[in-house]
Chain A
Amino acid sequence: MKSETLIKIENIILQRGGATVLDIPEFQVSQGRILALIGPNGAGKSTLLLMLAGLLKLRQGKFYFKGKPVENRDDLAILRRNAAVVFQEPLLLNSSVYENVALGLKFRRLRNEEIRKSVQSALDYFGIVQLTKRSAKTLSGGEAKRVSLARAFAIKPLIILLDEAFNSLDPPSRETIIDDLKRILEETKITAVLASHDREETLRLAQDVIVMNAGKIVQSGTTAEIFNQPDSEFVANFVGTESILVGTVNSSNEGLMEISVAGKIIEAVGNFLPGQNVYCCLRPENVTVSNYKQDKISARNIFEAKVSKVIRQGYFYKMTLDCGFPLVTYITVPSYEDLGIVKGGTLIASFKATAVHIIRREK
């Protein structure tokens, strides 16, 4: 899928107090895509996000917004008016929910009738119309987050920038808000960039991922690429050792799904509808290997696997298997020796349907 470039950056170098905060030779945001910037604290994610929002002055390098160079104050103002940032804290003003959501529209001096309509539809999007008259300071964390998201969407931005926006939320409201946000981004086709250090959040939302470290881009690609083919030790450690498999639900029956992954079928627990695109996430400690196929075993997923990579990690081996799809597993030194494992050899890999963690995925 080829989409147009919304923002393009060239040769950006940003220094603060002698230290290089950002050093980006090239970077772009494609229209209508959801891009995640991931990396450890201090990697420059938030700084890059503020730059994309037009909230940072450029000293070095080139910045293009919709193909036009952003050079002076006026260009920056145009960029700023088309971008909306959602921060980690909701940052609501001490007034009603309505006033908060209307804020950006009032800055634009729109007519009251227009403001009312936009506020209404933004509240409606996030399912919080009933909060309209509430005082913003009385809201729960999840409600406040919804209001701050609605406030950002109310101005109908071309791009929305989320800076660790879901960090301080409790898990259940976090999940529903992320799902709602995803649905709204799909419906509105608004471009989004999120800075995150949460893998689940990244998997749930992002189509593309950029891994950053110390102000530099370390790797970029689609979400599946980054999680499955980290091209450096740093990225591998950061994205974790979980196997992330791209699949589509084939059938779903009484909580047990058959998911097709690279031409194979994986069974997993859950009840997504057939046709739903998903990620199957599997932790290395949940994958068992043996020499022969067992007769009776509770694991519902059994695959023939080729040992493609073995790395000794202290008291155990980290082994990458090829079952038609990549699978990572840990194995202790004694087991490794008992099984007589060699690189390139064949094994039987098995894992339980309950061990597969399913996350909804974009096409």
Chain B
Amino acid sequence: MELIVQGIIKAFELIVSFDPEVLGITWLSLKVSGIATLISLFIGVSIGTVVALTNFYGKRLVISLINTGMGLPPVVVGLFVTILIWRNGPFGFLEILYTPSAIIIAQAIIATPIVMGISLAAIQNLPPNLRLQILSLGASRLQMVWVLIKEARLPLLAAIMAGFGGVISEVGASIMVGGNIKGYSRVLTTATVMETGKGNFDIAIALGIILLLLAFLVNLLLTQIQQRQRPR
């Protein structure tokens, strides 16, 4: 119990004193996961929409694969990204192993199926005649798709929240491809793992609280946008 209390006190000290190291780690976490979520948003929403709107052979299999991907284990992603960008790997020439870029790639791979699966379901859930209705009003194909995406904006915001929530809290891939290098590729989760391992429970708790707070604030913001849009 004392441990937790001490941890909380320490956490507040670190937060209010704007500890530069903690601040740096927090900022990097936010930046890396934010960019990864943005990338996953572009890929996920576009592919999700295309899959939802087209009929092709094996569509159900593809949807099952996407849905399976929503639960992709981060360590497995970390493993494959590591293999790919390893010095002798096919993308070794990029020399990005143990950099924040590598974390962004791994996290984008984790978040994309989540965003894709939710946006696919969101578009499929729109009334079936809505597409015909929009086309009959004279929309081009592109205009129709854009209207549908806008119409599904509430679940799409949920997709962003789920994607961001998934990657900001993920540790396996970040530690494998990022290397937890101090002041360079150390993010909140990898730092928490390390401090816990070293027995620095107070710092670990502090980092944990900041992580929770961060996730909470981002989701609060998105929820505000989402609920303001909700029909009353």
Interface residues of A (CB under 8 A from B): 50, 53-55, 80-81, 83-85, 87, 89, 91, 93-94, 103-104, 107-108, 135-138, 151-152, 155, 161
Name the B residues within 8 Å of A152 (CB-CB): 137
* Residues of B in contact with A (beta carbons under 8 Å apart): 127, 129-130, 132-140, 143, 147, 150-151, 154, 229, 231-232
Nearest CB in chain B: distance from A109 CB, A? 10
CB pair A80–B138 under 8 Å, yes or no, is yes
- Contacting pair B133 A91 (CB below 8 A): yes
Quote the shortest CB–CB distance from B229 to chain A (angstroms): 8
Which of A103, A138, A161 has the most chain B CB atoms closer than 10 A to its own CB? A103
A81→B232 contact, CB < 8 A: no
In the complex, how many angstroms separate the beta carbon of B10 from the nearest chain A beta carbon? 47
A107/B136 in contact, CB under 8 A: no
Number of residue pairs A-B, CB distance < 8 angstroms = 55
B136, B143, B147, B151: the one within 8 Å of A83 (CB)? B136
Tell me, in angstroms, the Cα distance from A155 to B136 when the chains sit together.
10
Q: Are A138 and B129 in contact (CB under 8 A)?
A: no
Given A93-B147, A94-B151, A138-B232; A84-B129 close (CB under 8 Å): no
How many angstroms from the CA of A85 to the CA of B132 in the assembled complex? Answer: 9
Bound CA–CA A135/B150 (angstroms): 15
Q: Please determine whether A138 and B231 come into contact, CB atoms closer than 8 angstroms.
A: yes
Are A151 and B137 within 8 A (Cβ)?
yes
Cβ of A94 to closest chain B Cβ, rounded Å: 6
**Nearest CB of chain B from residue A230's CB, rounded to whole Å:** 32
Q: How many Å from the CB of B123 to the closest CB on chain A? A: 14
Taking CB atoms, residues of chain A closer than 8 Å to B130 are 91
Q: How far is the CA of A161 from the CA of B137 in the complex (A)?
A: 12
Q: Would B231 and A55 count as touching, CB distance under 8 A?
A: no
Instruction: Tell me how far the C-beta of A159 lies from the nearest C-beta in chain B, rounded to whole angstroms.
Output: 11
B137 adjacent to A84 (CB under 8 Å): yes
CB distance from A235 to the nearest CB of B (A): 29
Bound complex: CA A151 to CA B143 (Å): 17
B229 contacts across to A, CB distance below 8 A? 94
Is the CB–CB distance between B127 and A91 below 8 Å?
A: yes
A107 touches B133 (CB 8 A): no
Given contacts A135-B231, A138-B232, contact A91 B138 (CB under 8 A): no
Apart from the given pairs A89-B127, A107-B139, A135-B232, 11 other A-B contacts in the complex at a CB distance below 8 Å: A55-B135, A93-B150, A94-B151, A103-B137, A104-B139, A107-B137, A107-B138, A107-B140, A136-B231, A138-B231, A161-B136
